[in-house]
Amino acid sequence: MQSTTQVQPPAIDFDTPALRRRRKLRALTDKVAGISIGAGGVSVIVAVSLIFFYLLYEVMPLFEGAEIEQKAEYRLPVAEAGPTLYGWLEEQGEIGMRLAEGNRVIFYRTQTGEVVDDIALPIPEGVRIASVSGAGVDKTLLALGLSDGSYLLVKHVYKVSYPEGTTRVITPGLEFPYGEEPVELDPQQRPITQISVRDAEDTLMIVGAADNHTLLGRLFEKEESFLTGEVELTDAGLVLPTVSGKVSRLLLGPETRWLYVFAPSGEVTMYDLLDREAPRLNQQLPVTSGGVELADARFLLGGISLLVADVQGQITQLFPVRDDNNHYTLEKIRHFDFGGRVTNMAAEHQRKGFAAVSDTGTLGIFYTTSERVVLREQLGDTPLRRVTIAPRANYLIIEDEAGTVRFYSVKNEHPDVSWSALWSKVWYEGYSEPEYIWQSSASNNDFEPKFSLSPLTFGTLKAAFYAMLIAMPLAICGAIYTANFMAPRLRTKVKPTIELMEALPTVILGFLAGLFFAPFMESHLPGVFTVLVLMPLAIVVFGFVWSNLPGAIRHRVPDGWAPVLLVPVIIVVGWFSFAISPQVELWLFDGNMPHWLTTELGIDFDQRNALVVGAAMGFAVIPTIFSITEDAIFSVPKSLVHGSLALGATPWQTLVRVVLPTASPGIFSAVMIGLGRAVGETMIVLMATGNTPVMDWNIFEGMRTLAANIAVEMPESEVASTHFRVLFLAALVLFLFTFAVNTLAEFIRQRLRTKYSVM
C-alpha cells in the first residue's frame, strides 16, 4: 500500500510585534471611544440639569415672602405740634412728611428724625384741621377740611437738585395751586369732619360732610390762561344727596362719578354723580359681617377698588361690576383676615398692594390680585397708629401710640404672583367675573398686571393638537406606503424630497402662512372645506376605478408606481374646489362665510387662526414624523414579512399584524418627537396667529403659546422684574412639560420594544 504524507500548514504567529501594537492601539481606541461617548452622554445630562436649575434659580424669588429691616427709631418729630393726621414718604425714602393736628407740616429725615422744615399752614387763628384726604394714592395734593366749614387745598413737593454735581439734595416744600386762602364749603360754618377731593384735568371736585351728617360739595371747571399759564376755576355747581345717618368715611372716585359714603355700622352707600344736578342712589351694601363697626376705608391704587377694614381685623376688597344692562353694583371680591382692630391702612403707589397696622402691634403687607399675605409680623405690644409706604414700596414708616417712629426698609419684590394668580381664575378690576387672562403691561401706572399662564399653556396645547391632527395621518400613512408598497426607485426620490422639507426655515413658513395663506384661506374658506370633503372621495373613487380596469391597462404601470397616477387627480380636485369656492360661498353662506359663521352660528372668526397654524405647523412637522416612521417600518426584517406572506397572510394582514407592531416603538418615537417639535415651535405660531391669549378650542380663533409669548415679551421685560421672572416660569413650564412627555414616551417605547422585539 502506498502511503501518503500530510503536509502541515505553516504555523501563524499571532504574537508578532506588529500585531501586538495593533491590539494595543485597538484597545486604546476602544477605551478612548468609550470614555468620549460616556463623557458626551454625561455632558448632555449635565447641560440639561444646568438649564433646569438656572430656570429654577430665576423663578424661585417669585414665591418668596416680604422681609423688613428696621433702619432707625426715634421720637415723633416736633411732637408738640400734635398727633399725625397724614403722613408721606418721598420717592427716595430720605424725607418724611407729617401733617400735624396743630396746623403744621413737618418735613424730617427718615434715618434720624432730624427736622428739615416746619411750616405753619395759612389757617386762621382758632381754626383747626377737622379732616384730611389725598387726591389719590399716588398724588401729593391734600384737601384739608377745617373746623369753620371751609377747606384748603395744599400740595407738598420735593425738589431734587445736584448742587455739587454728584450729591443729591432734596428740598421739600408746600404749594397752594388754588390759593392760600381757605374756601367756604359750609355756609353754616360747621366742622368739615370728612372730606374727599379729585383733581382731574378739566375739573376739580371737593365733597365733604359737615358734622358727620350733611354732604356738601363744590365742582369747578378748570381753564388754563393762555398768557400766564395760571389755572382759573369756574364754579359749575354740584348737588349732593341727603344722607340720613352718620358719615364716617367719604371716598370720591377718580372720574368723579362714584361717591361712596360709609356709615359707622359698616354699610356703604354708592351714589352715581354722572348727572351733576340729580345724583342717584345706586346701591346700599353692608361691607362688614354682622354689622361689625367700620375701622378704616380707602381706595386701592387707581381708585377702582375699595379696601374696607372692620374692628375685628377683616379686610375686604370691593369694586363696581357692570352687568349686561350696564348697571354697576359693588361686589365683594376677596377677604384678608388680619386679626386685631385695624388702626390704619396705606395703599402702595405703583402696585395693587397695601399695608395695615393693628392695635395689637401687628404689621401686615398684602397683595390683592394674588390674594397673598406676604408679611405678618408682630412689632411689639404697643398699638400702632399709622403706617406710611414709600412710592417705590421699599420703605415704611410706622408710628405707634407712644409717639415712637420706626423706619423700615422693605424687600417685597414679587407679591403679585401666587399659585392661584398663575393657574386659577382671578377676578380683575373692570371685569364682570373671574377669568383667565394674560396681560403683562398697559399704558398707565394704575394697571393691574395679569399673569395667568393658563391661556398660554392652553394655546400651546391647542396649536400642537391641530398641527398633529393634520401631520400625523399624512406622515404616518405616507411612511407606511413608502416603506412597504412603493417601488424602490420611486422611494429613493420621494423620501429625500420629503426629508428636504425639514430644511425649510420655520420663519419662512410662518411668513408665508401669515401673509399669504391666512388671507387666501379667509377669502376661499368654502374651498378649503370643499377640498377636505372632495379629496378623500376622489382618491377612493379613483382607486376603485383603477382596481376594476382591465388587467392589460393596470399592468402597464409597474407595481409601486400607482401613486404617480394620483398627482393629476389631486391637482384637478384642488383646482376645482377653489374654483367653485365663490359659488359655494354665495349659495350656502350668503356670499361671506366668515361673517355667516359669526352671525348665524356665533363662532368668532380671526384671519390668523388655529386652522392656519395647524396647516403651517403640520407642514413643518410632517418631515420629522415621516422620516422616523419610514425608517422604523423599512427596518422591519424582511424575513418576518416573507414568512407572514408565505403562511398565507395578505399584504394588508402582514402590515397590520406583523410590520406595524414590530415598528411601533419607532412610530411612537416619531410621534413624540413631532409633538415636541410642535409644542416648542415659535416662529410659525408667532407669525401665523393673532397672538391673543384666549382659551377657546374654536379652530377659527387664534391663540398665544408659551414659546411665542417668551419670544415676544422677553426682549421688552425689565430684568429681575416680576414680568421677567414669570416669563422664565413659562420657560420652566415648557421645559417640564417636554421632559415629562419625553420621559413617558421613552418608557412606553421601551415597553413596546420589549413586547415586539425580534429574538
Q: Which strands make up the sheet holding 306-310, listed edge to edge?
A: 294-299, 306-310, 314-322, 328-337
Q: Cell numbers of 328, please?
A: 354697576
Looking at residue 18, its pLDDT comes to 78
Cα distances (angstroms) measured from residue 77 to each of 74, 102, 110, 117, 164: 8, 13, 10, 11, 29
Residue 545, C-beta contacts closer than 8 angstroms, at least 6 positions apart:
none
Looking at residue 8, its pLDDT comes to 66
Looking at residue 250, its pLDDT comes to 94
Looking at residue 502, its pLDDT comes to 85
Mind giving me the DSSP string for 368-400? TTTTEEEEEEE--SSPEEEEEE-TTSSEEEEEE
Identify which of 421, 422, 425, 448 has the alpha carbon closest to the alpha carbon of residue 436: 425
Ranges for all domains in the chain classified under CATH 1.10.3720.10: 455-522+605-756
**Cell numbers 356665533 label which residue?**
602
Cα end-to-end span (Å), the chain: 55
Q: What is the sign of the dihedral through the CA atoms of 749, 754, 758 and 759?
A: positive
Neighbouring-strand partners of residue 384 = 400
Looking at residue 149, its pLDDT comes to 93
3-state secondary structure 666-707: HHHHHHHHHHHHHHHCCHHHHHHCCCCCCCCCCCCCCCCCHH
Query: For 292, which DSSP code?
Result: P
Q: Cell numbers of 621, please?
A: 412637522
The two counts, helices (H) then strands (E), for the chain are 18, 31
* Domain 455-522+605-756, CATH among 1.10.3720.10, 3.40.225.10, 1.20.1250.20, 1.10.630.10: 1.10.3720.10
Pairing of strands 342-347, 306-310: unpaired
Stretches where the chain sits below pLDDT 50 are 1, 759
Ranges for all domains in the chain classified under CATH 2.110.10: 123-286
Distance, CA of 194 to CA of 4 (rounded, Å): 135
Looking at residue 759, its pLDDT comes to 42
Contact 354, 346 (CB under 8 A): yes
CB atoms within 10 A of CB 17: 7
Q: Which strands make up the sheet holding 267-272, listed edge to edge?
A: 249-252, 258-262, 267-272, 280-286
**Cell numbers 449635565 label which residue?**
46
Q: Cell numbers of 633, please?
A: 417600518
Identify which of 395, 325, 384, 336 has the alpha carbon closest to the alpha carbon of residue 360: 384
Residues in the chain, how many? 759
Buried b (16+ CB within 10 A) or exposed e, 399-419: bbeeebbbbbebebbbbbbbe
Q: Cell numbers of 562, please?
A: 400607482
* Domain 123-286, CATH among 2.110.10, 2.10.260, 2.60.120, 3.40.50: 2.110.10
Cα distances (angstroms) measured from residue 635 to each of 333, 350, 498, 593, 664: 62, 64, 18, 47, 12
Identify which of 76, 86, 209 has the alpha carbon closest to the alpha carbon of residue 139: 86
Distance, CA of 397 to CA of 405 (rounded, Å): 7
CA triple 732-737-742, angle to 5 deg:
125
Q: What is the pLDDT of residues 345-360, one digit of tens each?
A: 999 999 999 999 999 9
